[in-house]
């Protein structure tokens, strides 16, 4: 009788252990996928919001304005633009959180943190309903921090032996250089901001793909 009881208890314990382990793995996989979908949604959302806002404000000039001017009260569909910034900022922070959880070294985690600062900037700019025009020094700092973060992520991919890592790093360096050049060349920041957005979109697409890979190989950057 004792053997039967002991065997039953051991069986129940094994079943519970397996159930808990499966639940934890499923939960981690669900969060990982949610982070990946958040990254993909940011690309779609930002592109849609920018297109609608630019078409609704024909006075806007890429050479003389900043994208934040689309969020001023005098502009049309400011709620769409500012709301898009806030939602994108929240999703970007969530995305960076998931990539940070998958990162294994200080190099990649540092890159994620710097990239996440962009999400905080989007939140702050979008929260101001009258729009915010960043001074050139702040714009330079934001461009450098975001570009540095993305570059560190590209380097971490190269350590993993990802085939397109060097190409990605080259795109990041070129994009950051062009963005800084545009800041000094044009009176407005719009062109530099669009270059940075394109660079960040590539980053989001790459790491969203990495998050959707095999759980053991997802985006565990070196």
Residue 142: inside a domain? yes
Residue 87: inside a domain? yes
Residue 22: inside a domain? no
* For residue 184, pLDDT beyond 50: yes
Residue 82: inside a domain? yes
76's tokens: 């049309």
CA atoms within 13 A of residue 27's CA, in its CB half-sphere: 6
Residue 27: inside a domain? no
Residue 14: inside a domain? no
Please, which residues have CB within 8 angstroms of residue 151's CB and are 6 or more apart in sequence?
A: 111, 169, 172, 173, 176
What is the rounded distance in angstroms from the CA atom of residue 189 to the CA atom of residue 147? 16
Residue 130: inside a domain? yes
Residue 23: inside a domain? no
Quick check: pTM over 0.95? Answer: no
Domain containing 173 equals 36-211
Three-state secondary structure string covering 158-203: HHCCCCCHHHHHHHHHHHHHHHHHHHHHCCCCHHHHHHHHHHHHHH
* Mean pLDDT along residues 46-55: 93
pLDDT in tens, 110-137: 989 988 888 888 887 777 655 555 555 5
**How many domains does the chain fold into?**
1
pLDDT for 164 equals: 78
pLDDT for 196 equals: 87
pLDDT in tens, 158-182: 777 777 788 888 888 888 889 889 8
Q: In this predicted model, which residue has the larger pLDDT, 47 or 27?
A: 47
pLDDT for 31 equals: 83
pLDDT in tens, 69-115: 888 878 888 888 888 988 999 999 999 999 888 887 788 889 899 88
């Amino acid at each position: 009788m004792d053997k039967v009881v002991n065997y039953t208890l051991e069986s129940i314990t094994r079943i519970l252990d397996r159930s808990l382990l499966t639940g934890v793995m499923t939960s981690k996989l669900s969060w990982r996928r949610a982070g990946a979908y958040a990254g993909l949604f940011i690309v779609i959302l930002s592109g849609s919001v920018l297109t609608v806002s630019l078409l609704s404000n024909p006075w806007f000039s890429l050479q003389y304005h900043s994208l934040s001017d689309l969020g001023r009260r005098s502009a049309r569909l400011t709620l769409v633009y500012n709301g898009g910034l806030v939602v994108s900022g929240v999703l970007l922070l969530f995305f960076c959180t998931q990539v940070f959880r998958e990162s294994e070294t200080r190099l990649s985690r540092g890159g994620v943190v710097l990239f996440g600062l962009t999400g905080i900037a989007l939140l702050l700019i979008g929260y101001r309903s009258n729009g915010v025009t960043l001074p050139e020094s702040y714009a330079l700092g934001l461009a450098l921090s975001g570009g540095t973060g993305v570059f560190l992520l590209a380097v971490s991919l190269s350590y993993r032996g990802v085939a397109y890592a060097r190409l990605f790093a080259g795109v990041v360096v070129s994009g950051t250089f062009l963005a800084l050049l545009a800041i000094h060349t044009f009176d407005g920041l719009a062109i530099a901001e669009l270059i940075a957005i394109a660079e960040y979109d590539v980053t989001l697409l790459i790491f969203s793909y990495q998050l959707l890979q095999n759980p053991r190989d997802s985006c565990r950057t070196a």
